[in-house]
Amino acid sequence: MNFLSETLEKYVTDHSEDEPELLQQLTRETYQKILQPRMLSGHYQGRVLSMISKLVNPKTVLEIGTYTGYSALCLAEGLQKDGVLHTIDINEELVGFQRKYFDKSDYGTQIQQHLGDAIDIIPKLNTTFDLVFIDADKENYANYFHMVIDMLNPGGIILSDNVLWSGKVIEPLKKDDVSTEALIKYNKLLKDDARVETLLLPIRDGLTVSRKK
């Protein structure tokens, strides 16, 4: 997932905002106890998410794909005082882990967890959003986009993670590689959809910022 040299990445991180202590603790415990710890947003991307959220200053945030809660805590840093972050994940085993760190933070009462399939849960959320973060099963990225675009307030932001997919999006497509194929189609969708203006950032594994017109 690294497109810069380790030395240059370290320089970038060293000259960016420090990682909060709570998120350092979350990272350590994730690596100790949870499978696939590389799914964490990590220090640098986490600070990017935090900065974007602070710039948007959202009243409502939707996160699709919670994992251990790192990115949710980063996005919550920009919430308005009475704001709410809804986060959806399908893994029941991680709910307690997430909640432990949410409650240790300053945003515990503002973060609402939803367990289950996002395709089923999103239509039941009776609200609109200022900021959406899509970081779940790649095959459904386009479906998530179509579901949330009408729930996104004008000027609202959709962030899409892993859109470079370790560089596979520019390599010859392998047979039965449904995730890469889905991301290639999704990236084209964001570029072509007239309802949003889109910028793909080569951050970590690729992060797209799409603003609703």
134 pLDDT exceeds 70? yes
Q: Residue 4 has what pLDDT? A: 80
Alpha helices, DSSP H only, in 105-193? 118-121, 141-148, 178-192
Whole-number pLDDT of residue 5: 87
pLDDT, greater one: 4 or 99: 99
121-128: average pLDDT: 97
DSSP-derived letter for residue 86 is E
pLDDT above 80 (res 3): no
At CB < 8 A and 24+ separation, what contacts does 52-58 make?
52/78, 52/131, 52/157, 52/159, 52/209, 53/77, 53/78, 53/79, 53/131, 54/78, 56/130, 56/131, 56/156, 56/157, 57/130, 58/83, 58/129, 58/130, 58/131, 58/156
pLDDT of residue 39: 86
Our measurement of the distance from residue 129's CA atom to the centroid of its chain's CA atoms, rounded to an integer in Å, reads 14
Tell me what the mean pLDDT of segment 21-42 comes to: 93
Instruction: Please tell me the predicted confidence (pLDDT) of residue 111.
Output: 98
pTM of the full predicted structure? 0.96
Residue type at position 154: P
**Rounded mean pLDDT, 120-135:** 97
What is the spatial distance between Cα 3 and Cα 98, in angstroms, rounded to a whole number? 29
At 136, give phi and psi (nearest 5°): -130, -145
Instruction: Report pLDDT for 2.
Output: 64
Residue 194: Cβ within 10 Å count:
6
CA nearest to 145, candidates 86, 88, 186: 186
pLDDT, position 38:
82
Residue 1 in this model has a pLDDT that exceeds 70: no
- Predicted pLDDT at 65: 98
When pLDDT is averaged across residues 176-188 and rounded to a whole number, the result is 97
Instruction: Report, in angstroms and rounded to the nearest whole number, the Rg of the chain calculated over CA atoms.
Output: 16
Distances (CA, A) of 182 to 23, 61, 92, 173, 187: 31, 24, 26, 11, 9
Alpha carbon distance 82, 159 (integer Å): 22
> What mean pLDDT comes out for the span 119-124?
98
Burial class of residue 89 in the structure, from the number of CB atoms within 10 Å of its CB (0-12 exposed, 13-18 middle, 19+ buried): buried
* Per-chain mean pLDDT for the chain: 96
Residue 88: per-residue pLDDT: 98
pLDDT by residue (tens digit) across 149-169? 999 999 999 999 999 999 999
